[in-house]
Amino acid sequence: MPREVAVIGDYFMLPEVFAEKIVAACGDAVNVRTRKDNWPNEPMEHGYAAAGMEGLKEYFGDADGVVEFVGEAEILVTQLAPVSRAILERLPRLKMIAVSRGGPVNIDMKAARERGVLVVNTPGRNASAVAEFALGAILAETRKIRVAHEALRAGEWRGDLYRADVTGRELNEMTVGVIGYGNIGTKVVKLLHAFGARILVHDPYVQLSADDIAAGVRMAAFETLLEEADVVTMHARVTEETTHMMDADAFARMKPGSLFVNTARGPLCDYDALYVALTQGPLGSAMLETFGVEPVPADWPLLQLPNVTLTPHIAGASVRTVTFAADQAAEEVRRYLAGEGPRNPC
């Protein structure tokens, strides 16, 4: 008899793509049904906002809706559907959850472990997308693309951007500091090699490979990286150690006119300190893709600065992110049904 698989997707992680990949991997061993939630057309919620969702972050949907749809399914594949302790108690037949994201922040992991529910994720699903986006952000600022675009749209022909004291700089003459050297940081470095940039990396939990060292990548202390880099780009995870690591002292160490790029997570940065660094120095500009509060308030001071580029947390949004996550989730389902160990247990 086919095993029941419930897929709760949305308008990014398309449930029909996941269903297609799961059927291709598992054949008639599964019966797959899908539901498409209305994210990102509607905002997601957080665990502290609703009773019964304690310990969850960044979820979409309500308990009754999840329980009703999952029903007797043995396997749930989702990106944002909440699975709290209370929800798990109402789904006694659920034995596996595949979360199509880097971290299972919408799952109560302690409760899942206690109930013997296997939880897997899809690490690196958007690593290439974010790395490409970070390079685009760096180029938009260093080559004055945003500045020139905004001026021309406003009817101003910025001929002065040809002045040597105003125009942009090429990456092959700059030092780029990469903070965090995981799935995304390593891809950013590979892309930077093609531009000929001098590359510094700070991550106390990894070591450079022989290829990195041969290519001239250098591991640096946090303070050294800040002092030497023309561009600082963030790719670290948020932990107690990294929260607000970019504070007033950190920004004060950066070179005059330098660029700060954050395509990682908002809590890495003290935004009040960043505002001061952008208005009083030493920073020349910043590119911000993620924020401590999302959506950002309409009156947020950083929205008003002329030397900041901002995007609404879209760096990881690409079609390839969807298909890559679906491939990973489908393989995890296949392995579970075949009695093989998971590739990416949480």
Which residues form the catalytic set? 265, 294, 313
Q: How many CA atoms, within 13 angstroms, populate the side-chain half-sphere of residue 159?
A: 0
List of residues 6+ apart from 341 with CB closer than 8 A: 335
Per-residue tokens: 161 = 């951007």
Q: Which residues pair with 8 in a beta bridge?
A: 35, 78
From residue 72, give the alpha-carbon distance in Å to each of 2, 60, 66, 312: 13, 21, 12, 37
List of residues 6+ apart from 197 with CB closer than 8 A: 171, 172, 174, 175, 176
Instruction: Report DSSP letters for 64-90, one per residue.
Output: HHHHHHHTT-SEEEESS--B-HHHHHT
From residue 35, give the alpha-carbon distance in Å to each of 9, 215, 272, 316: 6, 47, 41, 22
From residue 89, give the alpha-carbon distance in Å to each of 69, 70, 82, 195, 264: 15, 13, 13, 53, 34
Give the largest Cα separation in the chain, rounded.
73
What's phi and psi for 83, nearest 5 deg?
A: -135, 90
209 backbone φψ class: left, alpha, beta (φ>0; ψ -120 to 50): beta
Beta carbons of 13 and 323 less than 8 angstroms apart: no
At 340, the amino acid letter reads E
